[in-house]
Amino acid sequence: MKKMIALFAALMLLASCAIASAETTGTLVWATNPEYPPFEFIENEKVVGYDADLIDAIAAKIGMEAVPESMAFDAIVSSVQTNPNMIAISGISITDERKLTVNFTDGYIDAGLVVITKADAAYSTVDDLKGKAIGVQLGTTSDFKAEEITGAENVATYSSFINATLDLQGNKLDAVIVDGPVGQAILASLNDPTLVVANIDLGAADWYGIAVNKSNPELLDKINGALKELKEEGFLEELAAKYFSSSEEAAQ
């Protein structure tokens, strides 16, 4: 009888360990739009970039494996809203409107908005952009800011900021509003001296956060805990040095 009890206890211990292992080594599916270098882009058929490295590090901290799921940017928040087990990290700005449908982690980087124009345009104030044709990526904070400045009828939406900038390059637009690090990466890749970041202050912070389904506060807490540890360890500074031309864009 003692042997049977001992065997039963051993089996129960193994079962509880298996359950614990399954709970801590699951899959963390993250929605993303991999057309947003240097935050997420495709390289060798794989999603890579600042956000990809960050979510891999967070997943390792909480004992999970991060797996990307690519989609259009304007579908990301709604996908997280309807799927309790999905998160999203894709250069997503934390806004009051988005907070109505998903929870956000603490902000991990203040990207800020900039204006790309032709070098000879000589725009220097927000008022100079009124009535101008401005290109943006659909569903982003740049989209909302452009409508506020020039009116929805003058905003051209694109699936990516790169396509918008190419149309600016081809004289189909007057300007592109884009998150700072992304705009700098695009200009570096195009290497076109006729395109510049205009000295225009749009007067707004643009913090990125990780979106989590509202029914999963436990996951939100785990991700926030891991993010806090990574900040304290200097990991975000390492990412800034890796993906930006200087550490000035490092998360604060």
- Evaluate if residue 35 carries a pLDDT over 80: yes
- DSSP 8-state assignment for residue 175: E
pLDDT, residue 61, reads 97
pLDDT: which is higher, 7 or 133: 133
**Residue 143 pLDDT greater than 80, yes or no:** yes
pLDDT in tens, 94-139: 999 999 999 999 999 988 899 999 999 989 999 999 999 999 999 8
Please report, for the chain, the start and end positions of each structural domain, with discontinuous segments joined by +: 25-110+208-249, 113-197
For the chain, the farthest-separated pair of C-alpha atoms sits apart, in whole angstroms, at 90
Are 25-110+208-249 and 113-197 equal in CATH topology?
yes
Q: Has residue 24 got a pLDDT over 90? A: no
Structure pTM?
0.73
The residue-averaged pLDDT of 45-60 equals 97
pLDDT above 90 (res 156):
yes
pLDDT of residue 185 exceeding 90, the answer is no
Cross-strand bridge partners of residue 87: 30, 212
DSSP calls for 66-117 = EEEEE--GGGHHHHHHH-TTEEE-SS-B--HHHHTTSEE----EE--EEEEE
Number of Cα atoms under 13 Å in the Cβ half of residue 92 = 31
Q: pLDDT above 70 covers what percent of the chain?
A: 87
The predicted-structure confidence for 65-81, as pLDDT tens digits, reads as follows: 999 999 999 999 999 99
| Fold annotation for 25-110+208-249 | D-Maltodextrin-Binding Protein; domain 2 (3.40.190)
pLDDT band of 245, cuts 50, 70, 90: low
CATH topology of domain 113-197: D-Maltodextrin-Binding Protein; domain 2 (3.40.190)
Which region, left, alpha or beta, applies to residue 142 given φ > 0 means left and ψ of -120 to 50 means alpha? alpha
Indicate whether 203 pLDDT > 90.
Answer: no
* C-alpha pair distances (Å), 238 with each of 175, 215, 243: 32, 33, 9
pLDDT value for 16? 40
Tell me what the mean pLDDT of segment 180-206 comes to: 89
Find the mean pLDDT for residues 194-206.
88
- Average predicted confidence (pLDDT) for the chain: 87
Cα separation of 76 and 69, whole Å? 10
Q: What is the pLDDT of residue 15?
A: 39
For 28-32, 60-64, 146-150, 187-191, which range has the lowest pLDDT when averaged over its residues?
A: 187-191
